[in-house]
Amino acid sequence: MASVMLSEEEGALESRMALTAAAMADKSRSRMLCALMDGRAWTATELSAVADVSASTASAHLARLCEQRFVVALAQGRHRYFRLAGSDIAELLERLMGVAWATSMPRKITTPPGLRHARTCYDHLAGEVAVRLFDTLVSRQWLTPDGETLTSLGQEKLTQMGIILAASASRRKLTCGCLDWSERRYHPGGVLGASLLRWLIEKRWIKTELSGRRVTFTPLGIRKLETEFGIKTTP
């Protein structure tokens, strides 16, 4: 009897996995999900333009994504917006992007230079600078090479810098190595990645664009990244 129940549970899980994968398998829905990786809320009209589909088709796609809990709808007055359901979905998508790149045929990277240099990945920093920041944290033994564990030294040093890591109510990992889809290497993810981005913004080292994922560095940020982390960058 127990084995029958276990088999039924496994079957239900497999069915859910298939439905989840199918939600991402459509190219138009994938474009919408990639657009939402900037962390903002978008209207259905904006997402239909990104996916290059009609308004009615976009509505059907968004209904599917909401049903599978990839996306949530937010009502504000007469307007309705859509955003990713949470950081766990963003991390899943970022890892999937990395896997997609890693398993594709070798090709010239066509990511725009600005985005490849530095961009937001939902609520944390990605791109060349973020990868170098990850490498610095590992070389200083603040972070383990896989990015999964913050060392006691790292905890101490980050606290001294004013970067306080609070446990996430959503059971989000404190830290993890997030595979960067343009660099094919890790950048800081999890609570650590989100805390670092907030800290960089609060310190006015970086500026995020209101539309799009590109990040620019202030003159102060350029100086401080080199003196504090040994990272040379450009605006």
**pLDDT tens-digit map of 24-41:** 889 999 999 988 887 888
pTM above 0.85, yes or no: no
Contact 156, 141 (CB under 8 A): no
Q: Does the residue 161 lie in any domain?
A: yes
Q: Is the pLDDT of residue 209 over 80?
A: no
In a domain, 199, yes or no: yes
Q: Render pLDDT for 105-133 as a digit per residue (tens, 0 to 9).
A: 555 555 666 678 898 888 889 899 999 99
Same domain flag for 99 and 65: no
Residue type, 189: G
Q: What is the pLDDT of residue 5?
A: 47
Query: Among 59, 85, 111, which residue terminates a domain?
Result: 85
CA distance 58 to 50: 10
Q: How far apart are the C-alpha atoms of 121 and 12, rounded to whole Å?
A: 32
- Given a cut of 90, is residue 104 above it in pLDDT? no
Domain boundary among 85, 107, 137: 85
CA-closest candidate to residue 187, choices 122, 234, 235 = 122
Residue 95 sits in the same domain as residue 109: yes
Q: Which of 62, 85, 108 is the last residue of a domain?
A: 85
Task: Give the total number of structural domains in the chain.
Answer: 2
**Domain shared by 198 and 111, yes or no:** yes
Q: Which residues form the domain of 133?
A: 88-229
Asked whether residue 71 is assigned to any structural domain, the reply reads yes
